[in-house]
Amino acid sequence: MNLDFSPEDLAFRDEVRAFIAQNYPEGLRERQEEGEEMSKEDFLSWHRTLANKGWVAPAWPEKYGGPGWTSVQRYIWSEETARADCVPILPFGINMVGPVIYTFGTPEQKERFLPPTLSGEIWWSQGYSEPGAGSDLASLKTKAERFTGDDSKEYYLVNGQKTWTTLAQHGDWIFCLVRTDPAAKIQEGISFLLIDMKSPGVTVRPIITLGGEHEVNEVWLENVKVPVENRIFDENKGWTCAKFLLAHERSGIAGVARSKRGIERIRQIAQAELSDDGDALIKDPMFKRKIAELEIDLAALEYTELRTLAGEAAGKGPGPESSVLKIKGTEIQQRITELALEAAGHYGAPYFRGFPKDGDNAHPIGPDFAHRAAPTYFNVRKTSIYGGSNEIQRNIIAKMVLGL
Amino acid sequence: MDFNFTEEQSMVRDTVASFLQDKYDFETRRKIVGSDSGWRADYWQAFAEELGILGASFSEELGGLGGGAIDNMIIMEEFGKALVIEPYLGTVVIGGGLMKHSGHASAASVIEGIVAGTTTIAFAYAEPQGRYTWSDLKTTAKKDGSGWILNGHKAVVVGAPFASHLIVTARTGGGQREASGVSVFLVDKTLPGVVTRDYPTVDGGRASEVYFENVSIPADALIGNEGGGLPLVEKVIDEATAASLAEGVGVLRKLHEGTLDYAKQRKQFGRAIADFQVLQHRMVDMFIELEQSVSMTYMATIKLDESDAERAKAVSAAKVRIGRALKFVGQNAIQIHGGMGMTDELAIGHYFKRGTIIEGLFGSVDHHLRRYEGLSFGAAA
Ligand SMILES: Cc1cc2nc3c(=O)[nH]c(=O)nc-3n(C[C@H](O)[C@H](O)[C@H](O)COP(=O)(O)OP(=O)(O)OC[C@H]3O[C@@H](n4cnc5c(N)ncnc54)[C@H](O)[C@@H]3O)c2cc1C
Ligand SMILES: Cc1cc2nc3c(=O)[nH]c(=O)nc-3n(C[C@H](O)[C@H](O)[C@H](O)COP(=O)(O)OP(=O)(O)OC[C@H]3O[C@@H](n4cnc5c(N)ncnc54)[C@H](O)[C@@H]3O)c2cc1C
């Protein structure tokens, strides 16, 4: 038992650091550090840089374009990208539908979809949730009925509504769970479909969230014609893909490296801000204590994740224990945003979204971080809701781990 | 990076676990706790001879099996599961640890006695006024010819009734709370002037108030530097804290497992109480506390050999996390057992009691949180 990186791992870390230093634009770094909203191009530019280098999909097998890294190297990668405030790679293509396609897809589907997923040419959206199907995902109602087109090819006619679809306003394709057999038991009548969002009948409508962001959408599907060859895996076996994908979604969700960086930021902020006593906020015993407790809880999470990684390396696979990482990881992310807002004091209140755009930049109002503190705090409440809410994670542990 | 145990380490675990399973069931323990001596000297001999575990954490040069802190962690976790009373922590982890680090001329011979099971040690470090400040000492050692004269009162010396020797911190200079002037001595408990008042502790153990009344000790009783013993004491207390947290993990495992079993078989309202989601989620939170405690024990144990500051930070962080886990898991284990949790009859309450004592051993959660802050914020705050 030891914590040492091998010389190869250390060399890899240096290589990663050098690459990021040379290729990640400072302007983007600053905006990511401040928690600004990212544009489509912001996300894509970094995605493309990594795709060109062959590093965009650390967990993919080499034959599909992964870099062939060990789990320790992937861990180093996530540490280093977080340290450098890199824009995250969106999970929908790389962590979700990509692995579903290379695990369950046909050779034609792999060839058609994997390269543009890697390159960033396809922006994927995740069409799972519906107004009536959130935690109880299997109760989804969007239906897909088979028919033969005028061209005598087989199609599905898709009707229904998806919701909470993250960044679907930029989406090129959406992977959807749809009901193909209304008569079957609920999990057994679901199929996994890839839908081109330019198809007639697809409408995307914004939902504005607490921080004022346009981050999620409703996606309406009205008589959308989808070729049968866009179905992944067998008809009515979509739940298998969904379950597989949820397991992938949970791994990495601990966000340890990002939270470390978040605490570092809080420390910097607390050096600069003043407490009631006129001293640096970081000398305030109450504030300091909260930082210390966060650090300790993060260490507990980090070592729990490392144990899970070690288990994975030994072939145990990300089990339901990864629900622990999701619960604790999101709680810590949320506490970090609380501390930032607390540190902002009065300047947590001003809200500049939609306010005269190029306002008086020469005289910024309040400290730089402060205007994003409250919106970020509000926004990050989402983390304990999505990806399987923290209550659902507890249900999973109760059932799968504790046998209750 | 590697979180696996070696074959030797796994063997140590299996050996200890199977001995305890056969010979240290809950009823046997109850008898041990209630007996006159309060421990099983014959078991101690078995640990030395039959199991050979008393040497597991010492190097081969010192007559051990070549292991280290990880072996202590493994053994202490197993001891936690069985609520073992016998003085492994005081004798091997603290006594052996101090001798090992001190480079004392007779370190090898003392350790030989420890490994053979003939020397048992209790650590007399705390004083009635000192709380968790290890340098706060009224006990004094004054030069007397080539030796020393020891005077003072040591509080709640755990395991002292079982000990052949005491390790004593005493002032050889400096003011009452000063960092310098602290010295460490190995004292034969049978020396004239060593007066003990023995008593049981709430968790089934035994301890003593120890009074030194003009005890004359030889020159070579001094371990480490005269007046410069505090860093050594801090290092060994960190090692002991890590080991006691491993014991805590064993306790947590039993509290969690026992609660699950009980909730699955206890029926109310026509079904097992394990069916109620509030209790399920509580037991999940207990599980999370347990898993994080395992992780923190690994972290603290692995970091014991790093720099003083890194080691101390890691141990204090682990203590905060695991101390809280012991409280949360212990209290909820009792709660979910309902009235049965309140009885002396079930083992669960005894795990709760041991866990509660471990929580406060070598400093409360608040003490360690403050220590962590001091180390983590340094000059910044
Ligand atoms: C910002 C954001 C982005 C999202 N992005 C996407 C996306 O891109 N694609 C997508 O498909 N979905 C997305 N989602 C949807 C997300 O997956 C759902 O919000 C989530 O599954 C919860 O469903 P719900 O909102 O309907 O809440 P509900 O399921 O109605 O839950 C409400 C509350 O009840 C609790 N609850 C529900 N069932 C149980 C139970 N059995 N036991 C105990 N408590 C229970 C929940 O924990 C929650 O606290 C996103 C959500 C958010 C907030
Ligand atoms: C010190 C002491 C003195 C007492 N004195 C008296 C007395 O003088 N006279 C007398 O008649 N009784 C007395 N009692 C009994 C006391 O009222 C019961 O212990 C209490 O009603 C709980 O019942 P139980 O112990 O069987 O626990 P259980 O009912 O088995 O409960 C076990 C656990 O399951 C939980 N639980 C049970 N049902 C549910 C549910 N539906 N949903 C969620 N959680 C649930 C409980 O909260 C508890 O945590 C005493 C108990 C104690 C400990």
Chain B residues near residue A398 by CB distance under 8 angstroms: 280-281, 283-284
A357 has a pLDDT exceeding 60: no
Confidence label for B100 from pLDDT (cuts 50, 70 and 90): very high
B268 membership: H or E segment, kind and range: strand B267-268
The 3-class SS string of chain A reads: CECCCCHHHHHHHHHHHHHHHHHCCHHHHHHHHCCCCCCHHHHHHHHHHHHHHCCCCCCCCHHHCCCCCCHHHHHHHHHHHHHCCCCCCCHHHHHHHHHHHHHHCCHHHHHHHHHHHHHCCCCEEEECCECCECCCHHHCCCEEEEEECCCCCEEEEEEEEECCCCCHHHCCEEEEEEECCCCCCHHHHEEEEEEECCCCCEEEEEEECCCCCEEEEEEEEEEEEEEHHHEECCCCCHHHHHHHHHHHHHCCCCCHHHHHHHHHHHHHHHHHCECCCCCEHHHCHHHHHHHHHHHHHHHHHHHHHHHHHHHHHCCCCCCCCHHHHHHHHHHHHHHHHHHHHHHHHHHHCCCCCCCCCCCCCCCCCCCCCHHHHHHHHHHHHHHHCCCCCHHHHHHHHHHHHCCC
pLDDT at res. A35:
83
Alpha-carbon span A293 to A302, nearest angstrom? 14
Angle formed by the axes of helices A40-53 and A107-119, nearest 10°: 110
What's the confidence (pLDDT) of residue B19?
Answer: 98
- Per residue in B286-334, pLDDT (tens digit) is 999 999 999 999 999 999 999 999 999 999 999 999 999 999 999 999 9
Between positions 142 and 171 of A, the ones with CB within 8 A of B are none
**Interfacial A residues in 332-371 facing B (CB < 8 Å):** none
φ and ψ at residue A300, rounded to 5 degrees: -60, -40
The stretch B32-59 carries a mean pLDDT of: 97
User: ipTM of this complex > 0.90?
Assistant: yes
Ligand 1 proximity of A126 Cβ (cutoff 6 Å): yes
- The answer to whether A325 faces chain B, any CB pair under 8 Å, is no
Confidence class of residue A377 from pLDDT cuts 50, 70 and 90?
very high
Contact B288 A398 (CB under 8 A): no
Chain B CA closest to residue A281:
B381
Beta bridge partners of residue B217, listed in sequence order: B148
A286 φψ region: left (φ > 0), alpha (ψ -120 to 50), beta (else)? alpha
Distance, in angstroms, between A269 CA and closest chain B CA? 12
d(CA B337, CA B376): 40
pTM: 0.96
- Residue B363 is given by DSSP the state S
Tell the CATH topology of B123-228.
Butyryl-CoA Dehydrogenase, subunit A; domain 2 (2.40.110)
Mean pLDDT of all residues in A169-183? 98
Q: Which of A79, A80, A130, A249 is catalytic?
A: A249
Plot region of B266 (φ>0 → left; ψ -120 to 50 → alpha; else → beta): beta
> Domain-by-domain residue ranges, chain B?
7-119, 123-228, 231-376
Q: Could you report the per-residue pLDDT of B177-223, keeping only the tens digit for each? A: 999 999 999 999 999 999 999 999 999 999 999 999 999 999 999 99
Q: From the CB of residue A354, how many other CB atoms can be counted at a distance below 10 Å?
A: 7
* Range of weakest confidence among A310-319, B308-317, B345-354: A310-319
Q: What is the pLDDT of residue B303?
A: 97
SS3 B115: helix
Q: What would be the CATH architecture of the domain defined by B7-119?
A: Orthogonal Bundle (1.10)
Among the residue ranges A88-92, A252-256, B346-350, the one predicted with the least confidence is: A252-256
B323: how many CB neighbours lie within 10 A of its CB?
25
| Structural fold of domain B231-376 | Butyryl-CoA Dehydrogenase, subunit A; domain 3 (1.20.140)
Atom 16 in ligand 1: residue holding the nearest Cα: A386
Subunit contact B260:A404, Cβ cutoff 8 A: yes
Which residue in the block uniquely carries the two structure tokens 């050692």? Answer: B141
DSSP-assigned letter for residue B5 = P
| Mean of pLDDT values over A33-58 | 94
CA-nearest of B240, B263, B292 to B101 is: B240
Task: Reply yes or no on whether A312 is catalytic.
Answer: no
Share of chain B above pLDDT 90, in %: 97
pLDDT at B379: 61
Cβ(A247)–Cβ(A318) under 8 Å? Answer: yes
pLDDT classification of A321: cutoffs 50, 70, 90: confident
Q: Which residues contact A336 (CB under 8 A, 6 or more apart)?
A: A259, A262, A263, A266, A294
Token readout for B359 is 């929580």
> What pLDDT score was predicted for residue B74?
98
Judge whether residue A361 has pLDDT over 60. Answer: no
Q: Contact B302/A304, CB-based, under 8 Å?
A: no
- Position A147 scores a pLDDT of 97
Residue B268 Cβ < 6 Å to ligand 2: yes
Give the percent of chain B with pLDDT over 70: 99
A237 vs A240: CA distance, rounded Å: 6
Closest CA to B380 of A273, A282, A336, A284: A282
Q: What is the mean pLDDT of residues A142-164?
A: 98
Q: Taking CB atoms and an 8 Å limit, are A404 and B264 in contact across chains?
A: yes
CA distances from B337 to B281, B289, B323, B348, B356 (A): 15, 19, 21, 9, 17
What domains can you pick out in chain A, each with its CATH number? 7-89 (no CATH), 124-236 (2.40.110.10), 252-401 (1.20.140.10)
**CA–CA distances in Å: residue B173 to residues A82, B178, B180, B221, B272:** 51, 9, 7, 17, 64
Predicted pLDDT at A359 = 52
Please check whether residue A230 is in contact with residue A112, taking contact to mean a CB–CB distance below 8 angstroms.
no
Rounded-to-integer distance, Cα B16 and Cα B9, Å = 11
Instruction: Answer whether residue A232 shows pLDDT above 90.
Output: yes
The answer to whether residue A250 scores a pLDDT higher than 70 is: no
Provide the pLDDT confidence category of residue A186 given band limits of 50, 70 and 90.
very high
pLDDT of the residue at A358: 53
pLDDT at residue A318, as a whole number = 64
CB-based contacts of B36, cutoff 8 Å, min separation 6: none
Phi-psi sector, B315: left (phi>0), alpha (psi -120 to 50), beta: alpha
| Nearest in space to B141 (alpha carbons), one of B223, B86, B61 | B223
Is residue A200 exposed (0-12), middle (13-18) or buried (19+ Cβ within 10 Å)? exposed
Q: Which tokens in the block code for residue A2?
A: 């030891």
Taking CB atoms within 8 Å and a gap of at least 24, the contacts of A25-31 are A28/A87, A29/A84, A29/A85, A29/A86
